[in-house]
Every structure is written in structure tokens, then in C-alpha cells.
Amino acid sequence: MSLPSSPRVVQIGLAGLGNVGAGVYKNLDRNRALITQRTGADIQVKKIAVRDLSRPRDIDVPADLLTTDWRDLIADPDIQVIVELIGGTTQAHELVCAALRAKKIVVTGNKALLAERGQELFALAEECGMPIYFEAAVAGGIPIIQVLQEGLVGNHIVSIHGIINGTCNYILTRMSQAGLSYQDALQEAQDKGFAEADPTLDISGWDAAHKAIILASLSYGFWIPQNLVHVEGVQKVTLTDFAFAKRLGYTIKLLSVIRADADGRVEVRTQPTLVPLSHVLASVSGSFNAVLVNGDTVGETLFYGRGAGQDPTSSSVISDLCEAAAVLIYGPRHSGFVPHGLYGKSKPIEDTVSRYYLRLTVDDRPGVVAQVAQVLGARTIGISSMIQPEDLEDTSATTSLVLMLHDAPLGAVLQAIEEITALPCIKEPPAWMRVETLLS
């Protein structure tokens, strides 16, 4: 394939000029010559939809490019590609549907939209013959979508383990390395711009869960129902848990886990997880992201980089724009999502199996361990180790008891924890986390 003798102009409509939108505009202009040389396309911003024309901006944009109505982008016959960066799932959904029906290619970084309505949108894309590109929806500047769609297309995906929310990773890193409380670490993340003023979507785990749904759907060929995804946030992780985890040879990360079992049932979950200190994922610090993909042919591959921010995310959007330009010049390949029939069921979360960390605050008296062990044993949950390091905390009539549990279904573990909580010797609600088994 050779490049056209003269560059082909590709006009785009940009919906949203916030942090990422501004980065797209700035970096398209800065690297315009490079992009043209590499793609044969002169990608030009024809029109930009914004909410407020008077809002001060860090970049200079000609006033005649701006509009407050995204429908102006759809109505312009010269615009061939729509870039949706307005966020949310209502107006963005309307915009994407309108763009596809108007026979315009769509580029989006909207993970929530794709996680919640991806199946519908890609069906419409197929019907309209227009692709959707969404590299920026997962892991910022890491090209993980392209990896799954193209680089690993000849692999069955055995599993994916991802640290894919920079806000939570920053918070947990600061708790682990600096001994900050959760609240202090969150405040620092907000002060440094790693967390929003309202951080709920991040700290609840749902930002990472939306990304995990997209990765799982690409890997296994069907759209994962959101209500079958297990999600827990980082709000309950304490410095005490970090101290015990370190004693046991682990750290704590908000980890998204995606994998299929022997029957083709796919589990997708995001939760604070004990990760071995010896594993490379344990060293992913600050706001960085990492995605560990295990393919049956390639083995394990690790992708690491900035998971958010203006420049990394805009890099992914521009990559998609170059792909869109290639489609316009050389012809389409697929809608952006290719279903296949090897899988098709989500695994019930209560059937998912892993090891567990269980921390109890108990009466400091004989017989307590036996009571707890009896409850666990009745549900065939084995104890692999137990520690009671009193030097980690100041206690009097009560003490901490930390149990590491063997592989067990989550449903059985939750039932056991409910029974343990009701024991008279238990003085506080138990704290528990999964322990992920990873190849070193």
C-alpha cells in the first residue's frame, strides 16, 4: 500500500474542548506535518462544539470554528469524522447515533457510553456501514484496544489483569509508600489534579469497571452485561491493611481481572486486591496504568504508560483519527467491534474463585480461632496461613486476626463472612480482599 501522491484533506468535527479536546486540537496542529507524511491525510478541524463560547481556554482557537450546538457538526457535509469528547451517556449517545446515521465515522473516548450501550451502538455502526474507534476509552495513551483488535488477533485471550484507573492507583501508592490515610491521599490526588472535585466514579471502582467491560467484550466477542460485573471501590482500604499486606509479601492495587474458564464463561471484576510484591504489577506507581494480557500463543505481554491526562489521551484520539483517515482513503475494514461465537456467557460472580485475605477484630481470648475456623470449615474453605502481629497496632481487650484463605468461590466466602460477623467474639465488621495469583 502506497500513500497518495498528494495529501487528502480529512475534515473533522470536534465535540468537546475540555482537557482532552484541547489536547487533540493542540497536538494535531503541532504534529500536522508528521501525521500527513505518515498517513497521506491532512486532518483538519472544521468545527468544534462547546458548551460555553465565553469560557477562557489555554489554547487559541479561531472563533469561527466554535458552535454551541453539536448538531452543526452533523449537518456540515464536509465533516467526515466526528470526535465525541463531551462525556456522559445521554447527549453523547444522541450525538454518536446521529453521526453514524449521517454516514460519519465516530471517534470517542467515552468508556461509560461504550460499557453501557456498546452493543446497541456497534449494531448501529454495522447497519450504517460506519466504524467507531475508541482507543482513548481505556488506559489513556496505552494502545491496548489496537493490541486486542490487531496485535493479538491470533490468540485466545487467557486472562487480562489491569491497573486502569490512575486516580485510585495514585491514592493507593501514596498510602503504601508515604503512609498517608485514605482521606489525605485522596485530598493530595485532588490537589495535584489526579482526582476530580467529585471523585466518585473513580474511587467507587466504576471508571475502571467500564474499561474492563470494553476489554472483556473485545477479548471474548460479546458485550458483557454491566449488572454481571463485580465492582468494589478503594474507600475501605486502610493503613492497617497495607501493614498486614506488606508483612505477608503483598501490596494492594485496584485490579481489574478478566478471564474465561474452561467452559467459556467470562468473569469481569474490579476490586482492591492483594498483589505479590515480587510481581511487576506491584511496582506500577502513581497515576500510571498497566495492562497484563495473557494470550495462549504469545504468553504474557505487559503494556505500561500514562492512563490519563491531556497529552496521553489525545495521542490515542489522534491515532484513531489516523485510522479513520485510512478508512476514508483506502476503504473500511470493520465496525470497530467484531463479535465471535467462541464465548457468550458471563460467569456469575458468586462462582468466581480466588484466594482471600480476611482481617478480623476479635476478643483477645482463647477459643476465638476455633470458632472462626469452624465457620470456614463448614463451607469447605481452607486456611492457608494466619498471623496475629500485635506490634502493628495498639490493642487491649481486642486484637486483629488475619487469615489467608485457600481458593474458594466468592459466594461461599461471603456467606462465611456473614456468619463470622454474627459471632459474639467479632468486634468490628470484617475486612476482606481477594488475593490474586499471578505468574512472576
Which domain CATH number covers 179? 3.30.360.10
Same domain, 81 and 174: no
**85 part of a folded domain:** yes
Q: What is the mean pLDDT of residues 366-385?
A: 94
Same domain, 183 and 301: yes
Q: How far apart are CA 153 and CA 297, in angstroms?
A: 10
Same domain, 189 and 130: no
Catalytic status, residue 211: yes
pLDDT (0 to 100) of residue 365: 84
Q: How far apart are CA 39 and CA 325, in angstroms?
A: 8
**402 part of a folded domain:** yes
Q: 171 near 189, Cβ under 8 Å?
A: yes
Same domain, 193 and 218: yes
Least confident of 170-184, 265-279, 310-324: 310-324
**440 part of a folded domain:** no
Q: How far apart are CA 330 and CA 315, in angstroms?
A: 22
Q: Is the pLDDT of residue 307 over 60?
A: yes
The pLDDT tens digits of the residues spanning 402-433 come to 999 999 999 999 999 999 999 999 999 999 99
Q: How far apart are CA 37 and CA 209, in angstroms?
A: 38
Domain count, the chain: 3
In which band, very low, low, confident or very high, does the pLDDT at 6 lie, cut at 50, 70 and 90? confident
In this structure, what CATH number is given to the domain that contains residue 402?
3.30.70.260
Q: How far apart are CA 427 and CA 362, in angstroms?
A: 5
Same domain, 314 and 368: no
Same domain, 166 and 272: yes
Q: Which of 308, 341, 364 is the last residue of a domain?
A: 308
**161 part of a folded domain:** yes
Same domain, 161 and 266: yes
Mean per-residue pLDDT over the chain, rounded: 91
In which band, very low, low, confident or very high, does the pLDDT at 180 lie, cut at 50, 70 and 90? very high
User: Which domain range does residue 389 map to?
Assistant: 352-435
In this structure, what CATH number is given to the domain that contains residue 44?
3.40.50.720
Same domain, 73 and 181: no
Report the relative pairing of strands 265-276 and 345-346 from DSSP bridges. Answer: parallel
Same domain, 18 and 49: yes
Q: What is the mean pLDDT of residues 58-65?
A: 91
Contacts of 263 (CB under 8 A, 6+ apart): none
The pLDDT tens digits of the residues spanning 151-161 come to 898 999 999 99
pLDDT (0 to 100) of residue 391: 55
CB burial of 211-239 (b: ≥16 within 10 Å; e: otherwise) equals bbbbbbbbbbbbbbebebbbbbbbeebeb
Same domain, 297 and 177: yes
Q: How far apart are CA 147 and CA 160, in angstroms?
A: 12
**292 part of a folded domain:** yes
Q: Check 47, 104, 111, 211 and give the catalytic one.
A: 211
Bigger pLDDT: 100 or 263?
100
Handedness of CA 342, 344, 350, 354 (dihedral sign): positive
- Beta bridge mates, 426: 362
**430 part of a folded domain:** yes
Same domain, 207 and 241: yes
Radius of gyration of the chain from its Cα atoms, rounded to whole angstroms: 24
Same domain, 291 and 194: yes
**128 part of a folded domain:** yes
The pLDDT tens digits of the residues spanning 219-230 come to 998 888 999 999
**339 part of a folded domain:** no
Indicate the Cα dihedral angle 27, 29, 33, 38, nearest 10°. Answer: 50
